[in-house]
Amino acid sequence: MFDDSNIIVGLEIGTSKVAPSLANKNADGGLNIVGVGQSRSRGVRKGEVVDTAQAEDDVRNAIVEAEQMADVEIRNVYLGVTGGHIRGFNNRGVHPVVSADREISDDDVQDVIKNAKAINCRPRTMSFTRFASTFLWTDRTA
pLDDT, tens only, 61-83: 999 999 999 999 998 889 877 77
Which DSSP helix (H) or strand (E) runs through 32?
strand 31-36
In tens, the pLDDT along 97-122 reads 888 888 888 898 888 888 887 777 77
In whole angstroms, what is the distance from residue 72 CA to residue 21 CA? 12
State the Cα–Cα distance between residues 18 and 137, nearest whole angstrom: 45
Cβ(50)–Cβ(26) below 8 Å: no
The highest-confidence range among 33-37, 41-45, 51-55, 84-88, by mean pLDDT, is: 33-37
CB neighbourhood size of 17 (10 A): 15
pLDDT over 90 at 85, yes or no: no
Look at residue 7 and tell me whether its pLDDT is greater than 80: yes
The answer, as to whether pTM is greater than 0.75, is: no
Residue 141's pLDDT band (boundaries 50, 70, 90)?
A: low
Strand partners, 18: 13, 39
Q: What is the mean pLDDT of the chain?
A: 83
Does the CA dihedral 123-124-125-129 come out positive or negative? positive
Does an H or E element contain 25, and which? strand 17-25
